[in-house]
Structure 1
Amino acid sequence: MLSLSALRGRRPLLRRLPPTGAGLTAALLWTFAQGPVARPAETVTPPPRPVSVPASDHKGQPPGLRALFGSENRVMRTRERVIAVTFNAAWNDAGVNSVLGELARRRTPATFFLTGDFAGRHPAVVRRIAVAGHGLGNHSFSHPRFKDLTETGRRHEVVATDRALRAAGAGRALTPFFRFPYSETSPAHIKEVNALGFAAVEFTTDTNGWKGTEGGMTVDRAVGRAVDALRPGAVLQMHVGASQGRTEVIDAQALPRILDALTARGYRVIDLRTLLTA
């Protein structure tokens, strides 16, 4: 698997783009793709009591991080046939073994966005993802709707998850990436997350495998949604678990076919962390 040190030593995977506005010096720009996707609620352990958290001063941050601030970051702006594969985890870990095994077999990098509640219940999964060489992102602690929280509550959801991931053994796999619950973003909430030192990273499309057969989804439909969304710089979202105690994980079943399809169409998967060294 690709490590951070290996990534930094490689030739940049995305070509450098010309500036398109005043003060625009980042080599990579991100843009919007689609609106929020609803998610079923899940009963989770509430986060610890809020604490006062100072805003980040951005010292020591990766050079490419600030280029991602101020945006939802749903698409990597590039002309190359590259995509990023990501997985969310808030429910159970029913599909973890299958997903990690397939990624390892193909030597394919991915980024996993975990809730703090999930990390607290499944610390061994956190460590397995880290040891496998994948990135770990922040998906809030209890997966609430951010618009229903106070600013202090929103900040605490982010910070409590960061602490939970560190406590579970995320180590160097931890990234400064945050994915909003239900993909519900706003400029004000993105600014709050940026102030804490995190870039919002959403997605181009979701396979909708999380809906399960009860929600009318099949492996064929999940693969179809992924293939239909293929475009240079696409960010694909899947899930490694199932809601409401289910154990069937459509995304885990669809992953081999999705990876076969993108390879057949001339695409390759890159690690989101390469954006941090731009």
Structure 2
Amino acid sequence: MNRIARALAIAAVLLGTATAPAASRPAASRPAQPDVCRTEVRRIPTTERVVALTFNAAWDEGGIAATLATLRQRAAPATFFPTGQFAERHPAAVRAVAAAGHGLGSHSYSHPHFSTLTRLAMAREVWRADAAIRRAGHAEPLPLFRFPYSETTPQAIAEVNAFGFTDVEFTTDTKGYLGTARGMTVDKVVERALAALTPGEIVQMHVGNDVGDGGHVLDAEALPRIIDAVRARGYRIVGLGALIRLCPQGG
């Protein structure tokens, strides 16, 4: 979907106009875009020894500065999945991610359970998030969507595909967002990332947590060790732009 069509779709859904273009109509039976993956993606489809680092952003931005500093120091790319509400609350954080050259995907607008939503509500979640992330980041986001709670269904995936997005989930979640109060440690975060090491692994981390944790953001603290250990085992770290090129026929 080109930029003009996407902008029209965003406006139509947000305004609720009856003349919304086909790309924005939840009820439209429109085939998936040719450049999307039509099933959930939990690893990059490759045999190369590569790993993608991804970060969800739905709560606070406490780990953003440290995460970006580590990625810069180690020359490692990453992909960030903010919610639209996060982008509205923390536009400087989203802008910093884009300015550093990292990819921006979408994690919905308000982080709801998609299984409870109508098709129209799904569309609004997708397009409101897209608009908010664009405003905050001053950049073109990647056409990648990650469902809240990793709650995917064939119908929901088909909906986001119809809007031109690929659903990207993860091979492993480090669970760093649980924090020390719920039994997580930096060591456990690193162990979870490495235990799932495989060609095309997608690691899910978070830039903050949903409860106060004394200033600790375990994923940010563990990131230097994760990067160093992955590379020591002969893997390269890649951005998820590679995924787009590997799904040219909606595989």
Q: In structure 1, what is the Cα distance between the partners aligned to 2:229 and 2:22?
A: 43
Q: In structure 1, what is the Cα distance between the partners aligned to 2:113 and 2:21?
A: 22
Q: In structure 1, what is the Cα distance between the partners aligned to 2:216 and 2:93?
A: 18
Q: Any conservation in 1 of the 2:36–2:165 contact (CA below 8 Å)?
A: no
Post-superposition shift, 1:109?
0.4
Q: Does 1:75 align with 2:43?
A: yes
Percent identity for Structure 1 against Structure 2: 53
Q: Does 1:243 align with 2:210?
A: yes
Q: Does 1:188 align with 2:131?
A: no
Find the residue that maps to 1:257 and give its secondary structure.
helix
The residue number in structure 2 matching 1:207 is 174
Post-superposition shift, 1:166?
1.1
Find the residue that maps to 1:100 and give its secondary structure.
helix
Richer in helix (by share): 2
Q: Report the count of equivalent residues.
A: 223
Residues 55 and 256 (structure 1 numbering): CA distance in 2 closer, same or farther, change over 3 Å? farther
Task: Look up the equivalent residue of 2:204 and give its one-letter code.
Answer: Q
TM-score, scaled to structure 1 = 0.76
Q: Does 1:122 align with 2:90?
A: yes
The residue number in structure 1 matching 2:99 is 131
Matches within 5 A, 1:61-210: 66-172=34-140, 174-210=141-177
Q: Any conservation in 1 of the 2:36–2:164 contact (CA below 8 Å)?
A: no
Find the residue that maps to 2:108 and give its secondary structure.
coil
CA RMSD of aligned residues (A): 1.8
Residues 103 and 193 (structure 1 numbering): CA distance in 2 closer, same or farther, change over 3 Å? same
Post-superposition shift, 1:67?
5.0
Post-superposition shift, 1:249?
0.6
The residue number in structure 2 matching 1:254 is 222
Post-superposition shift, 1:49?
6.4
The residue number in structure 1 matching 2:16 is 51
The residue number in structure 2 matching 1:8 is none
Q: Any conservation in 2 of the 1:178–1:200 contact (CA below 8 Å)?
A: yes
Residues 141-191 of structure 1 show CA distances to partners (whole Å, capped at 9, x for unaligned) of: 11000011111111100100000011113413x110000000000000000
Post-superposition shift, 1:274?
2.2
Any stretches of 5+ residues in structure 1 without a counterpart?
1-47, 58-64
Q: In structure 2, what is the Cα distance between the partners aligned to 1:219 and 1:51?
A: 46
Q: Any conservation in 1 of the 2:70–2:224 contact (CA below 8 Å)?
A: yes
Residues 28-56 of structure 1 show CA distances to partners (whole Å, capped at 9, x for unaligned) of: xxxxxxxxxxxxxxxxxxxx966355443
The residue number in structure 1 matching 2:194 is 227
Q: Any conservation in 1 of the 2:176–2:185 contact (CA below 8 Å)?
A: yes
Any stretches of 5+ residues in structure 2 without a counterpart?
1-12, 25-32, 247-251
TM-score, scaled to structure 2 = 0.84
